[in-house]
Each structure stands twice: as C-alpha cells, then as structure tokens.
Structure 1
Amino acid sequence: MNCEVCHLKELEVELFEIPEVLRCILHTIIFHRALGPIRPKDIDSELFEITYVQCGDAEIERKIDEKIDEFIGRAEKHPNRKSQICLSFYEVKQKLATWFTNKIERLCWEQWYINLNVVHSKTHSSKSHHTKVVVEPREITSEERAMSRAALERALRDVLFQIIKFVDEKKEHIPAIPKESITFPYEIRSSWDSSSGMDMFKRMLQTGHPSMLS
C-alpha cells in the first residue's frame, strides 16, 4: 500500500503554547480526513487569532487531549529539545493466519509529522567576577512576548495552509471508506514513545532533515 508522508514545518514553542498549537494542527488534519456524519464545530484559539474546525466528536477530543497531556508531561522533563508527533491513518485488514485464528493487519496509508522545538522562556547571559558566563532567567517584556506570539501565529498559519494543500493534492492513496465510522482509524504517537521514537530516529537518519512542502 502506498503511504503518503507529510513533514510539517517546524514550530518553536514554549510549554504553555503546546496545547493550543497541537489542538489546532491535530483537529485540522483529522477534520479534513473525516468521514460522516459529523457536526463541524468552529473553535477560536485562546492564544492566536486563528479559528479551526473540530469534528464535534467527544471521543476524538478526548483522545487528542490525552495525547497532548502525555506529550507535555514528557516535554517538561526534557526542556529545550526538538521532538515529533506522528499522526498515522491506517486500514484494518484481516488475514487468515491458521485454520483456527485470524490475524488482524494494520496498513498505514498516511502519516503526518508535527515538528516542534520546545523552548523555555528567554534568558540572558552575564559575566561574574571570574569572567565565567552565567545564564540567568529573566522576565521577557510584553513587547518581546507580543513579537514572539505573532511570529508563532504566522508560522502556525503556514502549517495550516500546508495541511490544506496536502489534502487537496493527495487523494488517490485514500482507501475505501469504512462503515459506521466518523474518521478513518488513526494513531497518535510522539518521539517520546519508546517504540515510535526509534522509528522516527531511523527515518531521520535515512532521509536527513524533513523535507518541506512549498
């Protein structure tokens, strides 16, 4: 099966910005791969001048929020580090394994890699009387905060346009629609997960820096 892969533009975020950024991206992808019937729900971001659409399904919202909470919990333990979240859509097939049992096979047909550079608030460097550089945290100004927020908002908009372009151009690989389902089966994993982390690392070694869509 042909598996299409999209590496989204890397975003530099602080911990408190992660929930809004990931909700916006994950819900946008899943909405554009949703089946029916759904009840589209417009959501105004709490941090950005951006409105995105959810499927209006409580189970999807619960699963996304659960994965975001897991990601933040691990990011807090590993500050100032790049990481990935992979959203995979797959098809479930049954294969006859023996005379008595059936083997269920998951065939991945699309993967989305969300690339984040998680940083802490800005710091400044000063020299002590021993001329050793000491990094001390400081409160960033409201002007710096506004500029940083505006830059992230622009980058997030670019990612959303990248998603829309991809779903408009890539359609031939989509499998037959499963019955009685709001979305195609999907899985969300991060580079913090032990199994998927190694797969992501191997993929980066093989392909180099993730390619970007123009």
Structure 2
Amino acid sequence: MNCKEHILPELELATGQVREALQCILHTILFIRSPGPVTPQDIDLEGFDFTYTRIANEMKIEKRVDDAIESFLRSLSQIGPELLNGCLTLSFFERSASRQLFGLVKHEERVIFEQWILRVVVNNTPRPISNDSAAVIERQRLQDTAEGMLRSVLQKVFENAGGPIDHVPPCMYEFEIHCSKRMDDRENAATRFANMPSLINLGN
C-alpha cells in the first residue's frame, strides 16, 4: 500500500499560541479521519477567532495529542536569535501480520497509509505591551498574521481530506504523532513565503 503524504503550509506562531493551534490542527485531522462513528464536540479557541470540531469524550486521544505537543516543544531547534522550528507528522496506519522463517514466526508490522506533515516556526520575539497606537497596531498585525496562517493550514486540511480516499482502508486503523528537530530538506525557504496567506484576506 502506498502512503499518501499531505504537506501542510508552514505555520509561524508566538510561543503562547503553539499549544492551542496544534491542538486545533491535530484534533481536526483526527476527527475527519476517524475510522468509526464518533460524537463531535465544538471547541472555541481562546487565542484565535476560531471554532473547530474534535472527537468528544476521548481522553486517551486528548492525552496522546497533548503529549506529542509537549515532545514537539522539547524537540525544537534554534534557527535564529528568537526563532525555533520543528516538524510534526501525524501518521495513520494499520497493523499487518505476516509469517517469517518458513511460517514459524509471526511478525506484525505497521503499514502507514497516510501522513500529515506540519512544519512550525516558533517566534519568541517579545510583543509590544504598551497601549500606544503603534503597539496596538503591531499586536493586531501579529495576531492577524497568525490567524491567517492557521486558517491557511486548516483550509489545506479540508481540501486534502475532501480529495480521493482510495488509500484509506475500510477497516479500523490507528494513528501516531512523531516530531523531528529539523524541517525536511525537500522544501526550501521559498516554500515558507509561498505558503503565507495574503494579507488582504486575513479579515475574511
């Protein structure tokens, strides 16, 4: 089975926005790709003007997502004075059993059929905290930019999820979340600018 790979637009966030934004993205994908019937739950984000839907009453899934985010935050690499980056990969797989050594030894392997790859830049630059007009405008600009990038990622999630699903097995399957310290070399810095949302669309 070939693995379908979805590379999402790069996301740049302030330190305090990372957990909530990643929860939104990961839980959205897990809800969309749930292999069985689930109960939906709408979540209003505190740091963004967004509402997303997740699987309700699944504490194990919630813990796995939160643990993965904590591991991701610990794995970040320094790329500038106040910039860190990392990569999260959400993989869906099914377990396949086979026999080796003339059929005497049973072996089980994970067959990954879909991966969602998200590159994140964490910006630790202090935000202006004064109440003068310039500081207020700058805080709003940073907030609008972050919301625009999160919106762009979610739009890509829905676009990809709405595509062909021939690669998704009809049986029950599982997921895992992996984090790495550096971005994949297959994408260069130009991709970051290509994936940035248009500023004129931030208010839409």
TM-score (normalised: structure 2):
0.81
Q: Aligned residue for 1:71?
A: 72
Quote how far apart the aligned CAs of 1:44 are.
0.4
Q: Distance in 1 between matches of 2:75 and 2:137?
A: 30
* Inter-CA distance 73–161: structure 2 relative to 1 (3 Å threshold): same
**Structure 1 stretches of at least 4 aligned residues deviating more than 4 Å after TM superposition:** 210-213
For 1:142, the aligned partner's letter is V
Query: 2:5 — aligned with what?
Result: 5
Q: Percent of aligned positions with the same letter in both sequences?
A: 30
Tell me if structure 2 keeps the 8 A contact 1:21–1:156. yes
Kept in 2, the 8 Å contact 1:71–1:190? The answer is yes
Distance 1:208 1:43 in 2: 32
The SS at the match of 1:176 is coil
For 1:133, the equivalent position in structure 2 comes to none
Q: Report which of the two structures shows the higher radius of gyration computed on alpha carbons.
A: 1
Q: Which moved more, 1:166-175 or 1:96-105?
A: 96-105
Q: Any unmatched runs of 5+ in structure 2?
A: 196-204
Contact 2:88 2:117 in 1 (8 A): yes
| 2:75–2:180 Cα contact (<8 Å) kept | no
The two structures have a TM-score, normalised by structure 1, of: 0.77
What are the superposed Cα offsets for residues 59-89 of structure 1, whole Å, 9 maximum, x if unpaired? Answer: 11111011112222333x7451322100111
Structure 1, unmatched stretches of 5+, are 124-137, 179-183
Match of 2:40 in 1: 40
Question: 1:51 maps to which residue?
Answer: 51
1:169 aligned to which of 159, 163, 172? 163
The counterpart of 1:105, out of the listed 84, 105, 109, is: 109
1:186 lines up with 2:175 in the alignment: yes
* Counterpart residue type for residue 120 of structure 1: N
Q: 1:150 aligns with which of 144, 147, 151?
A: 144
Quote the Cα distance in structure 2 between the aligned partners of 1:74 and 1:107.
26
CA contact (8 A) 1:13 1:119 kept: yes
Shift in Å, 1:208? 3.8
In 2, Cα distance between equivalents of 1:54 and 1:208 = 30
Q: Are the counterparts in 2 of residues 15 and 72 from structure 1 also a CA contact under 8 Å?
A: no
Measure, in 2, the Cα distance between the counterparts of 1:65 and 1:166.
Answer: 24
| Alpha-carbon contact 2:9-2:153 (below 8 Å) kept | yes
SS in 2 for 1:46: coil
Secondary structure of the residue aligned to 2:162 is helix
How far apart are residue 108 of structure 1 and its match? 0.8
Q: Does the aligned pair in 1 maintain the 2:86–2:119 contact within 8 Å?
A: yes
Q: 1:94 aligns with which of 93, 97, 100?
A: 97
Partner AA of 1:29 in structure 2? I
